[in-house]
Amino acid sequence: MLFIPFAQAAARELPDFSRLVAKHGSTVVNISVTRDINRAGFSSDRPLPAPPAERSSRNFTDRYFEENPEALDENSLGSGFIVSPDGYILTCAHVIENAREILVRLSDRRELSASLVGADRRSDVALLKIEASGLPSVAIGDANKLQVGEWVLAIGSPFGFDSSATAGIVSAKGRTLPNENYVAFLQTDVPINPGNSGGPLFNLKGEVVGINSQIYSGTGGFMGVSFAIPIDAAMKISAQLKDNGRVRRGWLGVSLQEVSRSLAVAYGLNKPRGALIADILPGSPAAKSDLRSGDIVLEFEERLINYSTDLPPLVGLSAPGTLARFNVFRRDRGMQTVAVTLGELKEETSNRTPARHERVDNKSRYGLGLSEITALQRSSFDIDHGVSVTGVDEGPARAAGLHPGDVIMEVDGKRAGDIPGFYRLLDHIPPGKPAVLRVRRGMATLFLAWQRAGPLLP
């Protein structure tokens, strides 16, 4: 029997990226940006709030300049890649933000001035144009076909070191980060550092599958978690930037909630899945359709929705005016198909968080303290019925996830008009059978599963 040394056998299993780099490295460019000196332009607007507090997801250039203030008087660096032989280049929007001058350095050391075709902050995608022809351009892949564990390669200019190649695997797909609802990021463990931002992420076929955009770091450098914009989303956005100079996104007008195991049992689903519509904005496209608060969206245009974060990117990439079909699960009627004409997403405005009523009453037999809703709650929350939660003890209320300050509006779709009426609704719930509470928490609406006797699931 032929004996193969372990090191030699392992080497045979690892990919050789040398041919890929040699063939496609010329499509990657270095981007140098001269900015107006304005520190406010570099403040991070993409944090990931997760313990410990010092860890955060930062745009690469944002974090670099925060920790190197002396560099504010110099050019910032990033990466990009050529998507057409006539000089169109994709990069990240934060790389060229507040730019006075954009200079592109090609692999043959030519330096060309670039014009900004358009940039989209929501997706962090920007399209540039240089005056050149016959340029090498990337092959565009399909990020949807990527598998978790698949090898990928990044080429860029970390810390200004041109044409640096780093490799790793796809760690996860469909990651939605705080303040990034309209991008379902690819997560990788490819070593990424300041200067890689805007560069391409290749699969083993030499196709671009993503744009390296963000890192999760406590130091500003690579710590094993990187995020890339899927190339299919980036290409749709760049096409709009090229045609219109801006991006028009589809808008539904709902707030969404994850479907927990307890809610799945309460609805009769075989497993937790889908996006639960917690609330519908008055006057929105959803409000003008047959969608209801409490519906669970399982499919959008025949695309499966496993998590609540799957839906916003799909809706956002749909053109305003599109007649979109939603397959929803409705607790009282099962599967339904609802058609909605999507509107156009406008710029976000800040939300005011109203003060909560804090008077505490005695706890009931359900471990729940209640009071009638106040005039302030009626006006602040725009509600005309419900009971206010003033305290929560051990028992069904805590197991359901109720908090002091919540307003319980419905039990199994029936209005909770006052405290006695609310208890009558609870008393009619059979022991062991879960009910669904519709709750207003601050300016958000959510659904909670309630069971009288013991926890809902073992």
Segment 242-261 shows an average pLDDT of 91
Residue 286 confidence class, pLDDT cut points 50, 70, 90:
very high
User: Higher model confidence: residue 338 or residue 2?
Assistant: 338
pLDDT tens figures, 205-240? 999 999 999 887 666 667 889 999 999 999 999 999
Alpha-carbon gap, residue 256 to 251, rounded angstroms: 13
At residue 117, the pLDDT reads: 95
Say what the pLDDT of residue 205 is.
95
Strands 207-217 and 139-140, sheet pairing: parallel
The candidate with the shortest Cα–Cα distance to 77, out of 47, 108, 105, is: 105
Cβ burial of 442 (10 Å; 0-12, 13-18, 19+) is: middle
Spacing of C-alpha 248 from chain mean position: 18
The type of residue at 293 is S
Cis peptide before 52 (omega within 30 of 0): yes
- Which candidate, 125, 144, 224, 226, places its Cα nearest to that of 182? 125
Residue whose structure tokens are 């710029």: 347
Tokens of 423: 């208890």
As a whole number of angstroms, the distance between CA 29 and CA 98 comes to 20
pLDDT band at 281 (very low <50, low <70, confident <90, very high): confident
Residues 96-107 pLDDT 10s: 988 889 999 999
How far apart CA 211 and CA 256 sit, in angstroms, is 27
Q: Which residue has the tokens 């930037």?
A: 241
- For residue 5, what pLDDT is reported? 57
Task: List residues with catalytic annotation.
Answer: 94, 124, 197
**Average pLDDT, rounded, for the chain:** 82
Joined tokens for residue 259? 């479907």
Pairing of strands 334-341, 323-330: antiparallel
Structure token pair of residue 128: 């540039």
- Percent of the chain scoring above 70 in pLDDT: 80
Q: What is the pLDDT of residue 64?
A: 45
Q: Are strands 125-130 and 111-120 parallel, antiparallel or unpaired?
A: antiparallel
> Per the structure block, which two tokens stand in for 424?
């009558």
Burial (Cβ within 10 Å: 0-12, 13-18, ≥19) of residue 38: exposed
Tokens 């927990």 found at = 260
pLDDT of amino acid 178: 65
What pTM, to 2 d.p., does this model score?
0.69
Confidence tier at 37 by pLDDT (50, 70, 90): low
DSSP state letter for 283: T
Percent of the chain with pLDDT over 90: 49
Instruction: Kindly indicate the confidence band of residue 36, based on its pLDDT and cuts at 50, 70 and 90.
Output: low
Please answer whether residues 392 and 369 qualify as being in contact, where contact means their C-beta atoms are separated by less than 8 angstroms.
yes
State the CATH architecture for 250-344: Roll (2.30)
Instruction: Report pLDDT digits (tens) over 81-130.
Output: 999 999 999 999 999 988 889 999 999 999 999 999 999 998 999 999 99
- Gap between the Cα atoms of 279 and 370, Å rounded: 23
Q: Which two tokens stand for residue 234?
A: 């980036």
Residue 60: what pLDDT? 44
- Would you say residue 279 has pLDDT above 60? yes
- For residue 276, what are its two tokens? 């639960």
Rounded to whole angstroms, the Cα distance separating 176 from 46 reads 12
For the domain made up of 368-450, the CATH class stated in words is mainly beta
Rounded-to-integer distance, Cα 76 and Cα 38, Å:
13
Numbered ranges of CATH 2.30.42.10 in the chain: 250-344, 368-450
Closest CA to 42 of 109, 107, 94: 94
Nearby residues of 384 by Cβ (< 8 Å), 6 or more positions away: 378
The residue that leads in pLDDT, 193 or 12, is 193
Dihedral angle over CA of 29, 35, 38, 41, nearest 10: -40
CATH domain 13-243 topology: Thrombin, subunit H (2.40.10)
Q: How far is 150 from 340, CA to CA, in rounded Å?
A: 37
Give the model's confidence band at 45: pLDDT under 50 very low, under 70 low, under 90 confident, else very high: very low
Asked if residue 50 has pLDDT above 50, the reply is no
